[in-house]
């Protein structure tokens, strides 16, 4: 399953003139969710046109390409994949022409039974052109004997397991589907234009803010929405299980987004407050690891009364460190990415606050950077529990053997990162921060996976 791990952004725009431009700006707003490739499919009134390539949104699209993608229905995708899978064939959307006509799809998530389905489909004669589990869905749809795309999609969804937010464009329709657990976020909004009202569906609500769209609600877990003739039809395909990914609040989502109906910034700030209640340290300043550590550091500073300082400055043109496959590259990128302000750090007892520890490489480098800048003490605080298990539902995390908190004691991790002390937010503190410990998947912290996500339809029967 680790060959298909990905964590991406999807967007769908319906019923708005120049939908491609709105999809483009939405993808730009969600660039943080995937930087490997970007793509878009647009129905121009006669056929589905698709453009995709490796690179950032602003590299893949320009005024010329967007001008050629005319139409009032558009779907788009930003891809983030496991290191080493740099193939243009794995960029989305995926387009196909079958007996019922044209179809294009974008997918955020990970199918845990994709390998089983892929093997079965291959034995039945299907030919795959990518490593994407999304392609499995297209083959299931194409092989269905149902008489409409809607029914074919419903039948395909009964066979797949795991996490998925899917957006299809079928000539004059757009169809949206979310897995029964609601693992990955997906929100519905309204867009007003000179010619009326349209709709947008996106992984994060920050895409709505950029377009001036109105947030309506989250797409329900297990729900399918059909956009056709300027109307939305909702069908609850599966009973919702409500098992949302808690890591969205910790790291992936933008702080200005509404995710699972809650503001990310407020939750991260509360995580810092909870950490201050759990862990009281004598210190001179609280310093965040930018950018995702900033809200929790603010919360810690407010709760503890210790001054907040921006003691580390981030270079925003360097990507996320744990994506890189080689240790030496990750270590170099940390130095390129983060630089301390010596005048703020020197001679101080520093609390440095980060969102998580994966391999420990980044944390070790951050402690080293601060001590080289003259910090008297460095206390590393993490606004989430120790990451002890990999994710199989659409987040790229290393194997269990590579997760330092899964293979070492807390003191061993502290010694490795060379901090004077090391503290993590407890599972109880995390639950208080998000408002409940019910309805969230926190398998990365407690190793408790959703059993049915791994079962095929045949196994369940």
- Residue 234: predicted pLDDT: 98
Given a contact cutoff of 8 angstroms between Cβ atoms, the answer to whether 104 and 75 are in contact is: yes
Query: In whole angstroms, what is the distance from residue 331 CA to residue 76 CA?
Result: 33
CA separation, residue 246 to residues 109, 147, 264, 453 (Å): 14, 39, 11, 17
Query: In whole angstroms, what is the distance from residue 301 CA to residue 136 CA?
Result: 48
Please confirm whether the linkage preceding 249 is cis (ω < 30° from 0): no
Residue 290 phi/psi, 5-degree rounding, is -75, 150
CA separation, residue 107 to residues 57, 158, 160, 266, 423 (Å): 17, 16, 13, 28, 36
Q: Is 444 a catalytic residue?
A: no
Please confirm whether the linkage preceding 103 is cis (ω < 30° from 0): no
Given a contact cutoff of 8 angstroms between Cβ atoms, the answer to whether 219 and 26 are in contact is: no
Question: What is the separation, in whole angstroms, between the first and last Cα of the chain?
Answer: 22
Show the CA angle centred on residue 424, arms to residues 418 and 427, nearest 5°.
Answer: 160
Report the DSSP pairing between strands 349-354 and 377-382: parallel
Report the DSSP pairing between strands 421-424 and 377-382: parallel
Which residues lie below 8 Å from residue 66, measured CB to CB, with a gap of 6+?
A: 20, 21, 24
Given a contact cutoff of 8 angstroms between Cβ atoms, the answer to whether 265 and 255 are in contact is: yes
Say which DSSP state 261 is in: T
Given a contact cutoff of 8 angstroms between Cβ atoms, the answer to whether 23 and 69 are in contact is: no
- CA-nearest of 211, 234, 221, 209 to 260 is 221
Per the listing, tokens 């009281």 go with 280
Query: In whole angstroms, what is the distance from residue 286 CA to residue 299 CA?
Result: 10
Q: Kindly report the pTM of this predicted structure.
A: 0.89
Hey, which bits of 70-172 come out as E strands?
Answer: 73-79, 94-98, 101-111, 162-170
Q: How many CB atoms lie within 10 A of CB 446?
A: 13
Dihedral (Cα; 144, 146, 151, 153), 10-degree rounding: 10
Please give the chain's pLDDT, 461 residues, in tens.
Answer: 333 334 699 999 999 999 999 999 999 999 999 989 999 999 999 999 999 999 999 999 999 999 999 999 999 999 986 433 556 778 999 999 999 999 999 999 989 899 999 999 999 999 998 888 999 999 999 999 999 999 999 999 999 999 999 999 998 999 999 999 999 999 999 998 777 899 999 999 999 999 999 999 999 999 999 999 999 999 999 999 889 999 999 988 999 999 999 999 999 999 999 999 999 999 999 999 998 899 999 999 999 999 999 999 988 776 554 444 455 555 566 677 889 999 999 999 999 999 999 889 889 999 999 999 999 999 999 999 999 998 888 676 668 888 999 999 999 999 999 999 999 999 999 999 999 878 999 999 999 988 766 654 444 44
Q: Which domains does the chain have, with CATH numbers?
A: 2-242 (3.60.20.10), 266-434 (3.40.50.2020)
Q: How many CB atoms lie within 10 A of CB 229?
A: 9
Active-site option among 8, 165, 279, 444: 8
DSSP string, 206-251: HHHHHHTPEEEEEPPTTEEEEEETTEEEEEE-S-----EETHIIII
Query: In whole angstroms, what is the distance from residue 173 CA to residue 73 CA?
Result: 8
- Residue 84: predicted pLDDT: 38
CA separation, residue 375 to residues 338, 346, 448 (Å): 16, 5, 39
């Amino acid at each position: 399953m680790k060959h298909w791990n990905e964590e991406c952004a999807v967007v769908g725009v319906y019923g708005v003139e120049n939908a491609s431009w709105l999809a483009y700006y939405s993808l730009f707003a969600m660039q943080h969710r995937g930087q490997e490739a970007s793509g878009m499919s647009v129905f121009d009134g006669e056929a589905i046109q698709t453009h995709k390539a490796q690179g950032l949104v602003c590299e893949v699209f320009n005024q010329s390409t967007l001008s050629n993608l005319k139409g009032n229905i558009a779907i788009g995708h930003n891809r983030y994949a496991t290191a080493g899978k740099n193939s243009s064939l794995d960029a989305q959307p995926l387009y196909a022409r079958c007996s019922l006509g044209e179809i294009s799809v974008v997918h955020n998530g990970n199918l845990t039974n994709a390998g089983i389905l892929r093997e079965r489909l291959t034995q039945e004669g299907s030919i795959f052109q990518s490593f994407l589990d999304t392609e499995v869905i297209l083959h299931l749809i194409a092989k269905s004997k149902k008489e409409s795309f809607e029914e074919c999609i419903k039948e395909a969804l009964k066979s797949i397991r795991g996490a998925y937010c899917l957006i299809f464009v079928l000539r004059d329709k757009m169809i949206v589907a979310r897995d029964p657990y609601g693992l990955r976020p997906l929100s519905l909004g309204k867009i007003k234009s000179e010619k009326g009202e349209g709709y947008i569906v996106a992984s994060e609500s920050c895409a709505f803010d950029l377009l001036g769209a109105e947030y309506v609600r989250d797409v329900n877990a297990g729900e399918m929405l059909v956009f056709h003739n300027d109307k939305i039809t909702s069908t609850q395909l599966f009973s919702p299980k409500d098992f949302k990914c808690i890591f969205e609040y910790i790291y992936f989502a933008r702080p200005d987004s509404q995710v699972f109906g809650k503001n990310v910034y407020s939750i991260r700030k509360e995580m810092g407050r909870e950490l201050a209640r759990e862990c009281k340290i004598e210190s001179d300043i609280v310093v965040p690891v930018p950018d995702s550590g900033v809200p929790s550091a603010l919360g810690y500073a407010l709760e503890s009364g210790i001054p907040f300082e921006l003691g580390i400055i981030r270079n925003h043109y360097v990507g996320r460190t744990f994506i890189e496959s080689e240790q030496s590259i990750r270590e170099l990128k940390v130095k390129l990415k983060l630089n301390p302000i010596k005048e703020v750090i020197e001679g101080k007892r520093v609390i440095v606050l980060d969102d998580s520890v994966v391999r420990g490489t980044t944390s070790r480098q951050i402690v080293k950077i601060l001590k080289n800048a003259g910090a008297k003490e460095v206390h590393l605080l993490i606004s989430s529990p120790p990451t002890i298990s990999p994710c199989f539902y659409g987040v790229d995390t290393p194997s269990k053997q590579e997760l330092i908190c899964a293979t070492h004691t807390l003191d061993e991790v502290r010694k490795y990162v060379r901090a004077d002390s090391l503290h993590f937010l407890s599972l109880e503190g995390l639950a208080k921060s998000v408002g409940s410990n019910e309805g969230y998947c926190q398998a990365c912290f407690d190793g408790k996976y959703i059993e049915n996500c791994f079962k095929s339809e045949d196994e369940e029967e």
